[in-house]
Amino acid sequence: MKNFWDIVNDVIGQSDIVMEILDARFVEETRNKELEDRIRAKGKKLIFVINKCDLAEKGVLEKKKRELNPCVFVSAIKRFGITMLLHEIQRHADKSKERVVVGVVGYPNTGKSSVINALKGRASAPVSPQSGFTKALQLIRITSRIYLLDTPGVYSYMEKDAAKHALISSMDFSRIKDPESAVISLLEYNRKAIASHYGVKELKDSEALLVEIAVKMNKVKKGGVPDTKLAAQMLLKDWQRGKIRII
Ligand SMILES: Nc1nc2c(ncn2[C@@H]2O[C@H](COP(=O)(O)OP(=O)(O)OP(=O)(O)O)[C@@H](O)[C@H]2O)c(=O)[nH]1
Ligand SMILES: [Mg+2]
């Protein structure tokens, strides 16, 4: 991955407005305050976009919305809130400018490319369930004078918290070095949702719960020994692909 600040400064420099795309399931975790400060310091307008609204409870989101301003909820997949977002962009776009560039930033996999495609009305920015998919900046025209700048998802190399990367899918499950530890911390906060997804008892001990899931999903080594590493990889994959709805 290219240097975080190289990409960030490049995007902010080219943009008049910046949209930070957040994941509705993990709004706080997908905020990058350093990035937000830099956007403001450069005098650029910041719009918060909470995407993947279809995967979270409305009540929780309404509360978040009051903390972030201006903020628009969307679901790129369900095309919910897209017209509202376009109006919000137009409201902040300098009327005297012939060309307004809106940078789209956020952690990998929050749905930057998907939001752009929803605004454009057809697929122009390639999308993938694998995080780190967009590799370079790409300018996409959505109205006669508004251009969106798709960017690679970035986070600072200082962020080494594997559990957070697993949680918000910023690092693809296949690249997480110790899937078992990542899953253990995921289980700590999402025990109920995960146990119910796999149809196992909600055990208090996370390691024992992972063993239960391994057995239930038939992830076993020769001799019937539960393969917790394989089970952890499967769980991370399901989690990151949005198969497990949080409760
Ligand atoms: N359920 C749901 N899934 C979404 C939504 N928007 C995007 N996704 C999914 O999230 C995954 C990532 O979407 P992308 O648009 O590629 O995300 P990105 O932020 O551009 O990712 P990078 O280019 O890797 O940084 C894909 O599997 C999308 O289908 C949404 O509103 N709801
Ligand atoms: Mg992308």
Q: What is the pLDDT of residues 227-240, one digit of tens each?
A: 999 999 999 999 99
Mutate to test the pocket of ligand 1, among 73, 128, 245 (most ligand atoms within 8 A of CB): 128
Q: Give the chain's mean pLDDT.
A: 91
pLDDT in tens, 105-142: 999 999 999 999 999 987 677 788 888 888 888 899 99
CA 109 to ligand 2 centroid distance, Å = 7
**Residue 169, SS3 per DSSP:** coil
Q: Starting at the edge strand that comes first in sequence, how are the strands of the sheet with 138-141 ordered?
A: 71-73, 45-51, 17-23, 100-105, 146-150, 138-141
pLDDT for res 2: 57
CA 7 to ligand 2 centroid distance, Å = 14
Q: How confident is the model at residue 61 (pLDDT cuts 50, 70, 90)?
A: confident
CA 104 to ligand 2 centroid distance, Å = 10
User: How many beta carbons lie within 10 A of that of residue 123, not counting itself?
Assistant: 12
Taking the model in full, what pTM does it have? 0.88
Q: Does domain 4-150 have CATH number 3.40.50.460?
A: no
Write the residue with the smallest CA distance to atom 2 of ligand 1. 52
> What DSSP state is assigned to residue 241?
T
What percent of the chain stands above pLDDT 70? 98
User: How many beta carbons lie within 10 A of that of residue 237, not counting itself?
Assistant: 15
Distance of alpha carbon 35 from alpha carbon 82, whole angstroms: 24
pLDDT surpasses 80 at 60: no
- The ligand 1 atom at the shortest distance from the C-alpha of residue 127 is 16
The alpha carbon of residue 205 and the mean position of all alpha carbons in its chain are separated, in whole angstroms, by 28
Residue 105 near residue 4, CB atoms below 8 Å: no
- The ligand 1 atom at the shortest distance from the C-alpha of residue 242 is 1
**Ligand 1: residues within 6 Å at CB?**
51-52, 54-55, 75-77, 106, 108-114, 127-129, 131-134, 152-153, 242
| Proximal ligand: closest to the CA of 107 | 1
Report, as an integer, the average pLDDT of 172-197: 93
4-35 CB burial, b ≥16 within 10 A, e <16: beebbeebbeebbbbbbbbbbbbbebbbbeeb
Q: Do domains 4-150 and 162-240 have the same CATH topology?
A: no
CA 30 to ligand 2 centroid distance, Å = 15
Q: Which residue has the tokens 């369900």?
A: 78
Distance of alpha carbon 189 from alpha carbon 33, whole angstroms: 23
Distance of alpha carbon 179 from alpha carbon 228, whole angstroms: 9
CA 75 to ligand 1 centroid distance, Å = 10
pLDDT for res 208: 97
Q: Which CATH number fits the domain 162-240, given the four candidates 2.40.160, 1.10.260, 1.10.1580, 1.10.10? A: 1.10.1580
The identity of residue 69, as a single letter, is N
Domain boundaries, the chain: 4-150, 162-240
Report, as an integer, the average pLDDT of 193-210: 96
CA distances from 80 to 29, 86, 158 (A): 22, 12, 35
pLDDT surpasses 70 at 46: yes
Q: How confident is the model at residue 156 (pLDDT cuts 50, 70, 90)?
A: confident
- The ligand 1 atom at the shortest distance from the C-alpha of residue 130 is 24
Phi first, then psi, for residue 217 (nearest 5°) are -90, 10
